[in-house]
Amino acid sequence: MPAERGFTLLELAVVLAIVGLALALAVPLVGKSGPAAQLAAAAAELRIALRDAHLRAVAEDRILTFRADPGGGYWLDRDYRPLPGAVRVATQGGARIDFLPSGGSSGGRVVVAGAAGRRVIDIDAVSGRAALLP
């Protein structure tokens, strides 16, 4: 009768110990990059939304208004959009930013802040373009 194939209890315990050790080492590294990744994602999403607001204002031939919500989202006209992660959004000076049908804007800066720091998006008054500052 051929010997049955399989794993011994000792072999399984060793594999589980190695997997547990690897997870214990990896979890702190993932935890540190979490807030930074959330901040980067929120800033990128907001920059894209501002760019789209600029294009919509021109395409629809109307003023489109951006307002920040310190609770973690923003308003484009009457539409509220939350941002991912634990971030806060504000405009410098607390003002709203208008995107004009001519392609320009009222200009300003939007600050996205979180546990990992802050990112600033500059909206050019002449061109209406949104650029993420370094």
Q: Has residue 19 got a pLDDT over 60?
A: yes
Domains of the chain as residue ranges with CATH: 35-132 (3.55.40.10)
Residues 6+ apart with CB under 8 A from 110: 46, 50, 66, 68, 89, 90, 91, 92, 97, 120, 121, 123, 130
Q: Has residue 126 got a pLDDT over 60?
A: yes
Residue 55's pLDDT band, with cuts at 50, 70 and 90, is very high
Q: Has residue 32 got a pLDDT over 60?
A: no
Q: What is residue 28's predicted lDDT score, i.e. its pLDDT? A: 63
Q: What is residue 29's predicted lDDT score, i.e. its pLDDT? A: 59
Q: Pick 58 or 34 by higher pLDDT.
A: 58
Reference 109, options 55, 28, 58, 43; nearest CA is 43
Q: Is 87 exposed, middle or buried (0-12, 13-18, 19+ CB in 10 A)?
A: buried
Q: Has residue 10 got a pLDDT over 80?
A: yes
CA distance 90 to 111: 5
What pLDDT, in 10s, does the model give residues 67-85?
A: 998 888 899 988 999 887 7
Per-residue tokens: 40: 């980067």
What pLDDT, in 10s, does the model give residues 98-115?
A: 999 999 999 999 999 988
Q: Return the percentage of the chain with pLDDT > 90, whole number.
A: 49
